[in-house]
Amino acid sequence: MVRKLSHNISSYLCGELNYSDEKKEILSYGLQIILGASIKLITIITLAYIFNIFKPTIVASIAFIFFRRIIGGSHCDTFNKCYFLSVSLLLLLGLLGKIVALQYHILLILAIVIYLVAVVITIIWVPMGTEKKTIKNKRTRLKIKQKTFLTLITCFVILVYFHMQATSEIVLSSLLGIALAFFLATPLGNKFTRIKFNIGKGENTC
């Protein structure tokens, strides 16, 4: 659906502007990304509001997207699968952030564990490329690792502050979003996104 709609829109625009077929393909691909992301975002916001998990879901989603843009990570091979997994996982994180109540010291320990695991993943795998785009330049990879370390430290300090203010729901939701982002930046995360589902048929790569 998204691919067909993007193709139709790009065909119309390129016809009006006399663009080449190459520009048409670029425009169509860009529209697929924008439309796909918009559909997922609207679905997540709507369902999170309906199930009364809006705040933790949004917090987890922001943390996930923020780190994923920096470290990269594996992608599903179809839009349908990407849509299903993205919506399901982020709503699940929001639900956990809402219903799970951890004691102060346990939440702090969880934050430290996730931080240390994220550091190890950064050293070994970040930035995680995809089949279509892999960063091989050592200097570029080093810069991304350094940016990830700096961001992790900043986020950890912010979460400790929120933790001291007794907003455990925000802290836990953020940690879950960060954990998911780093999980998808590992070979195991890549295998997870490659799981076959019947819902994945009929669309292009996410």
Express each pLDDT in 41-94 by its tens digit. 999 999 999 999 999 999 999 999 999 999 998 888 888 888 999 999 999 999
Q: Is 200's pLDDT higher than 50?
A: no
Q: How far apart are CA 189 and CA 166, in angstroms?
A: 32
Report which DSSP code applies to 77.
S
25-46 pLDDT, tens digit each: 777 777 778 888 899 999 999 9
Question: Would the pLDDT of 127 be above 50?
Answer: yes
Two structure tokens written together for 172: 């836990």
Q: Which of 174, 151, 188 is nearest to 69 (CA)?
A: 151
**Residue 200 DSSP symbol:** G
- What pLDDT is stored for residue 24 in this prediction? 65
User: Which residue would you say has higher pLDDT here, 136 or 206?
Assistant: 136
Query: What pLDDT shows up at residue 124?
Result: 95
Mean pLDDT of 90-109: 92
Bridge partners of 72, per DSSP, are 128
**pLDDT grade, residue 144 (50/70/90)?**
very high
Q: pLDDT above 70 covers what percent of the chain?
A: 82
Q: Where are the alpha helices (DSSP H) in the chain?
A: 2-17, 21-50, 54-71, 79-99, 104-124, 138-164, 168-183, 187-193
